[in-house]
């Protein structure tokens, strides 16, 4: 499973690079020879395709079905484990 924070930082850094320029050295996907865009895109796709966690109703609030952390109202992702949420 890719590291969510690494992917977010990579997307942030790469979004500021002009087309055709190599990754800056502060990019977590920086490589000496390769631009690293391919691995970044593969990791981002894997995160987007991962199975979501069910938000489970407990009384008046919901908890993440993955880590059982109480969720803020209308959460799309769990603030604790980062799983995408579905509500049933």
What does each of the 88 residues of the chain score in pLDDT, given as a tens digit? 678 888 888 888 877 877 777 778 888 878 765 556 677 878 888 877 778 889 999 999 999 998 999 999 989 989 988 888 999 7
User: 57 and 43, same structural domain?
Assistant: no
Domain extent at residue 65: 53-87
pTM: 0.50
Co-location of 41 and 62 in the same domain? no
Buried b (16+ CB within 10 A) or exposed e, 26-41: ebbbeeeeebbeebbe
Q: Are residues 62 and 39 in the same domain?
A: no
Same domain, 17 and 45: yes
Residues 14 and 45 in one domain: yes
| Total number of domains in the chain | 2
Q: Do 19 and 31 lie in a common domain?
A: yes
Query: Are 38 and 15 contained in the same domain?
Result: yes
């Amino acid at each position: 499973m890719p590291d969510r924070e690494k992917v977010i930082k990579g997307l942030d850094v790469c979004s500021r690079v002009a087309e055709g320029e190599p990754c800056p050295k502060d990019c977590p996907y920086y490589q000496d020879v390769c631009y690293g865009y391919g691995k970044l895109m593969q990791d981002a796709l894997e995160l987007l395709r991962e199975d979501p966690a069910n938000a489970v109703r407990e009384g008046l609030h919901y908890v993440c079905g993955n880590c059982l952390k109480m969720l803020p109202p209308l959460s799309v992702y769990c603030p604790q484990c980062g799983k995408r949420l579905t509500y049933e």
